[in-house]
Amino acid sequence: METLPTRASAKGRTLTVSDFYEAGRDELSLTLVSGGSNLQRTVEEPIVNRPGLALTGFYDHFAWRRLQLIGNAEMAYLRTLDDETRRQRFQALIDRRAFCFIFTNGQKPSDDEIALGERSGAVIMTSPLKTRIFAHLSAFVLERLSAPTASIYGTMVEVCGLGVLIEGEPGLGKSETALGLIKRGCSLIADDLTCVRKEVGNGLLFGSASESTAGYMEIRGIGIMHIPSIFGVAAVRGEKQLELVITFRRLQDVKGEVDRIGQTRRVKTILGVDVPNVMIPVSEGRDLVNLVETAAMQQKLLMSGVDPVDGLSERLRKRADAMQAKTAKKRGRR
């Protein structure tokens, strides 16, 4: 498996205030009030923080590495303070390295707060969204931006409900196999280059196509195909959890490596996550579409807790025990 270099690693990518602003400008209705020259500041903890306690003067465990959310509760408290105290409390957050403030519910920062932000280099934004809605939506935006990602050479298809990544050297029929699966009712996720992201909270991997190539396939001899136009919108998926990697290798290159019984469970490690891996030897006349589909069905069976190798071993053990008992019984009659 060849993984292309990206801005991310298994620990996640570096996220800036600019990334958040660009990604959330429409979704979160963000308006930049001041600090436009400081948007390259790093968001060390991709989550929002409501600095209510810090505004009262309690600074222990103040989460300055996060984006500071100023909602109705914070504004109501600030209005109880005289102008000088209010400036001091806002300055105290900046002195403790707070670098980005977002006023929600259509609240507006005062001229003094804007001046303090501009003087210190802090970024100030506003949003008309309610604070709870903003906090909820921003969590998804920040997760998407900061998630560890990788670009992998391979074609990804949804097969029998599983996200399956087909990898292998060029010319082994990855795209042609995916096309055959699509004609059987499966869905294309990405052709040739799959973008994988990791959800940090649960360690799950999700695959998708790049924005520029989503829905398109390249088939040697035919050219570029737009899958939704030919097979319908149900023939493509935007994103799918990656649950199986299938590796195509030439038969002459894997002699002696193929486990005919399937007792050895192979895995591929992607962004620190082990994904079940099946190696399929490729040779003339092999029905790769059928083999990939069957491998996906087999993986679903394993995920449900049913292992055919264990089942066969248990059956053979019982048969051997029965034959041994039968032989012992015959010897006892003599």
CA dist list (Å): 293 to 74, 182, 198, 250, 266: 56, 11, 25, 19, 18
Distance of CA 193 to the CA centre of its chain: 15
pTM (predicted TM-score): 0.72
Q: Please, what are the domains in the chain?
A: 13-146 (3.40.1390.20), 149-309 (3.40.50.300)
Query: 206 or 327: whose pLDDT is higher?
Result: 206
- Strand-strand pairing, 100-103 and 123-126: parallel
pLDDT at residue 323 tops 90: no
Convert the pLDDT of each residue in 83-133 to its tens digit.
999 999 999 999 999 999 999 999 999 999 999 999 999 999 999 999 999
For residues 27 and 137, is the Cβ–Cβ distance under 8 A? yes
Which 3 state secondary structure label does DSSP give 283?
A: coil
Q: Report the DSSP beta bridge partners of residue 267.
A: 276
Q: Which two tokens stand for residue 75?
A: 């504004």
CA dist 244 and 268 (Å) reads 9
Number of Cβ atoms within 10 Å of the Cβ of 249: 17
Convert the pLDDT of each residue in 269-297 to its tens digit.
999 899 999 999 998 888 999 999 999 99
Convert the pLDDT of each residue in 7-41 to its tens digit.
444 555 688 999 999 999 999 999 999 998 889 99
Sign of CA dihedral 71, 72, 77, 80: positive
pLDDT at residue 303 tops 50: yes
Which 3 state secondary structure label does DSSP give 28?
A: coil
The type of residue at 1 is: M
Confidence of residue 5 (pLDDT cuts 50, 70, 90): very low
pLDDT of residue 77: 94
CA dist 35 and 99 (Å) reads 9
* Lowest-pLDDT range of 68-72, 243-247, 283-287: 283-287
